[in-house]
Amino acid sequence: MADLEFDAERRRGAAFKSNKFWLIILCGIVVISAIAAHQIGQVQSSHAFVYQDGVLIETVNLAAITKTYLIVLIEDEDVGIINGGYNVVQVDSGQIRMVGANCPDMTCVLQGWKSGGITPIVCLPNRVIITFEGGGSGVDAVVG
C-alpha cells in the first residue's frame, strides 16, 4: 500500500514535470511568434535618404550597416541656410534615428529609431528629413 502511494506520488510528479515542460515550450513558441509577428508588422526598408533643405546628403543602405555611425549635418551657406542649425543622425543595423538636434521642439529626436515605413523622420526647423525607400510621396515631395 505504501509502495502504491509512493508510485502514485511519483507519477503525479512526473506528470507535473511533463506539463511544466510543455508549458515552457508553449511559452517559447508564443514569444517567438509574437516577435516574428512584430518584425513582419514593421515595414522594413533597405535604404534611407537623408535630406537637408531638399538636398540629398546621404543615402544609407540600412541592410548593409554592421557598425553604428553618426552623420552630422550642420547648416551652412552652401546649403543656403545660416541659422547655425545642426542635426546628428545615428545609423545602425537596419535602423536610423535623429540622435541630436538644436531645434526647439526636438520632435525629430523623439521620433526615435525607424527602420522604414511611409512616415519620414522630420526636423522642420532645420529642414532635415529622412525618408525611406518605398516611402512613396515622401521622397517625391522633397525632391520636387
Residues that bind Zn ion (CB under 5 A): 101, 103, 108, 123
What is the closest distance, in whole angstroms, from the C-beta atom of residue 100 to Zn ion in the complex? Answer: 9
Q: How far is the CB of 112 from Zn ion (least distance, A)?
A: 13
The pairing of beta strand 86-92 with beta strand 69-74: antiparallel
What sign does the CA torsion over 106, 88, 116, 39 have?
A: negative
Q: Of the two residues 60 and 130, which places its CB atom closer to Zn ion in the complex?
A: 130
Contact (Cβ atoms closer than 8 angstroms) between residue 100 and residue 73? no
Distance of closest approach, residue 103 Cβ to Zn ion, in angstroms = 3
Q: Toward Zn ion, which CB reaches closer, 34 or 55?
A: 55
Nearer to Zn ion, 57 or 134 (CB): 57
